[in-house]
Structure 1
Amino acid sequence: MLRWHPYDGMFVCDCRGRVEHRPALVLRRTGFLARHVTPAHPEHSEDCPFARDPTEGREIVRSYRHPAGQVLRLLGPLQAIGGERHEVARVAYATPRSAVAQLLMRAVVAANIQQVRCGEDRLGLSQQYAEIRRVAADIRVAEEVTLQRVLGTNLDGLNRVIAAIEGVEPRSWRGSRPVGVIICQVDTVEPHLLRAGPERVLEVAGRISVFGESADATRRISPQTPGLAAIVVARPEANERYRALKAYVHPCYGRGDLMLVDSDYERRTLREILDTAAWMLNARKVGMTVEKPVFDIGLPVDEADAQGVRTFCIPDFVVTATDRDLEAVMDLRAGNDQAVGHDCP
């Protein structure tokens, strides 16, 4: 929320709560709001929507486009883990989407996990994992290495992923750091651990990023509200052993379904949509398809620049009546779990 101060020509923001010195913005001649950082006005909170200048805003929007055909560089050059050791961080739509998150989104979209066709049997959990392994052949983690070659789908499959990395010819990694990936459900996130049930535990040496618009998002991954994790396996330094270096965790629909959702509020809403769709099919013979988008579907950023910097457009759900020319775009507003909504231009 912004409050206009006409005497000094700036907006004061409450993104850091009720503090003595609040972040501020000033209006530029270009029409953009710019951050105004002084000793009296600190930096904005990282998830504040007013904290971005136009260039930074465009880069954030681009990070939410579908990275079709791109090689996903999951790690930079070899370096020590340093200050990121054992850190759990919350990420939200106000922050750029990482390459690890992009990889997870690409995999579930290609596997058709983000779409439900009412009246058709939903794939079981093992079949959903099998589909992810199948489509991983079209996702590259190096110019000559597909995700399929270095992918595991069990939290206790670290050694198998390491063996797969070492089985790739070194020359195939030219220009890229050798990595492997584990994609699996987790139900507990701790500062240095991911857990799936009481016995399957994986230590993560670096940062674990958990998606959630609410401040306590990291505590909302549980056996009742699990998350889908993408875990990067690599050497921290050239002379060290392979380890799980970092992970990205996104809430998913349930223990038997890997469909990504943004909050428990969206889980409950999806159940209501599916119940309504089942009634429409049985009572009115109208089939429906429900999709949960995870990529920006708005104009390409460069095309939108003439109209000013836009935010990305990711509807919460898209409901389509099959065999009829009907489509509904659902945009949830903040409920008890602060579900996020985005207006589509």
Structure 2
Amino acid sequence: MLMQLIETAGLNRVAASGVVAPISDQYKALRAATGGIELDEGVPLSKCVCTYLPALPEFMLRIGQIPPGRFPKTGRPHGILIAVVGDASAGLLQPSRGDPVAVRGEIAIFGEREGHSRQSVEDRRARSPYLAICVIGCPARGSSVEVLKAYLHPCISAGHLMPVDSNLERQTFQVLVQLRTWLFHKKRIGLSIVKPLFDMSARTGVMEPDSNSDTPHEPCIPDFLLEADRVPKDGKSLLVIETMGYADTQYRNRKEITHTKMSLVTGQSPVIRHDFHYPLNQNQTERDRHFWLDCRWQITGRG
């Protein structure tokens, strides 16, 4: 649900203007995106959503006062909290300001596992802040309202709710922001930055030659897309951007396959890699510059 709301609200896109709305307007857009969604039969999500963490106690009280009959399918009134948090530990969400929020059940964090190894506290904090979506309700009839479970996904910052998959993606995003500024001032090219959230092969209907719609496949979700509003004759108006965060061979081989597919579903668009490991003889500042130039020349052409 969280990703669907973010996409409907347009929070996975930064327009060519580069303007990011105030955080209050971003939350307002999320609330507007709940229109037409029901939590239960005849129960609009818009009436049972909270996006202001200090108002959580009042929101929980309001949920507790709803008669069970108002939720005919589940028989248990519940609501949704969406807010930014800085960290999470066993049974607790830690906002950047204010008291911790107790969570009765599971706290799932995007990317908290690589293989079977749970990320360390240091790794998790490095990926903060997170946009959290929580279910608020009673664990059993007659019990008190609690935060029942939560899902956390990293976002750009506490003031920018665009989701990212890692802290490295945040760094990629910052390089793209610098590129957008340069293109606008030097070339009068507007550049939108998009964070795809869903399988593009399913949405575009473009599949690999040896597959069909019933064949299981790895989702095709690029890290970012760049959309240029005008380009020279030899320039590209759409680029696929991929953050290369690991150095192991298995990861790199898998990425080669997925990058080919990403190019296919975007009309043979170039896939530009922002590498954090290679070339070995370059430091990260040099790799960032190489990535910036790759994107620039693809968009402006060399003519």
Same fold (TM over 0.5): yes
Conserved 8 A contact 2:67-2:77: no
1:283 equivalenced with 2:186 (yes/no):
yes
Q: Give 1:147 deviation, angstroms.
A: 1.7
| Matching residue's letter, 2:237 | L
1:128 equivalenced with 2:26 (yes/no):
yes
CA 1:166–1:310 in 2, change beyond 3 Å: closer, same or farther? same
Identity of aligned residues (%): 26
Q: Deviations over 1:19-63 (max 9, x none)?
A: xxxxxxxxxxxxxxxxxxxxxxxxxxxxxxxxxxxxxxxxxxxxx
| CA distance, structure 2, for counterparts of residue 287 and residue 280 of structure 1 | 7
Unaligned runs of 5+ in 2: 265-303
Q: Deviations over 1:161-213 (max 9, x none)?
A: 22443565644422134211110000021101101135232100111001125
| Matching residue's letter, 1:290 | I
| CA distance, structure 1, for counterparts of residue 201 and residue 194 of structure 2 | 16
Unaligned runs of 5+ in 1: 1-102
CA 1:107–1:313 in 2, change beyond 3 Å: closer, same or farther? same
Q: Give 1:217 deviation, angstroms.
A: 6.5
| CA distance, structure 1, for counterparts of residue 166 and residue 143 of structure 2 | 38
Conserved 8 A contact 2:87-2:128: no
2:129 to 201, 226, 235: 226
Q: Give 1:130 deviation, angstroms.
A: 1.3
Aligned to 1:108: 6
Aligned to 2:99: 200
Conserved 8 A contact 1:319-1:328: yes
Aligned to 1:334: 245
> Please, what is the CA RMSD of the aligned residues?
2.8
Secondary structure of 2:177 counterpart:
helix
Q: Give 1:334 deviation, angstroms.
A: 2.8
Secondary structure of 1:298 counterpart:
helix
| Matching residue's letter, 1:320 | E
CA 1:308–1:265 in 2, change beyond 3 Å: closer, same or farther? same
Secondary structure of 1:259 counterpart:
strand
Structure 1 runs of 4+ aligned residues shifted over 6 Å read none
Greater share of helix: 2
Conserved 8 A contact 1:189-1:219: no
1:119-158 aligned at under 5 Å gives the runs 119-158=17-56
Q: Give 1:332 deviation, angstroms.
A: 2.7
Secondary structure of 2:201 counterpart:
coil
Aligned to 1:45: none
Q: Deviations over 1:64-104 (max 9, x none)?
A: xxxxxxxxxxxxxxxxxxxxxxxxxxxxxxxxxxxxxxx11
Q: Give 1:306 deviation, angstroms.
A: 6.2
1:311 to 218, 221, 225: 218
| CA distance, structure 2, for counterparts of residue 256 and residue 106 of structure 1 | 20
Q: Deviations over 1:280-307 (max 9, x none)?
A: 1110000011100111111379x85468
Number of aligned positions between the proteins = 242
Structure 2 length as normaliser, TM-score? 0.71
Secondary structure of 1:299 counterpart:
helix
| CA distance, structure 1, for counterparts of residue 80 and residue 32 of structure 2 | 14
CA 1:242–1:117 in 2, change beyond 3 Å: closer, same or farther? same
Aligned to 1:161: 59
| Matching residue's letter, 2:218 | T
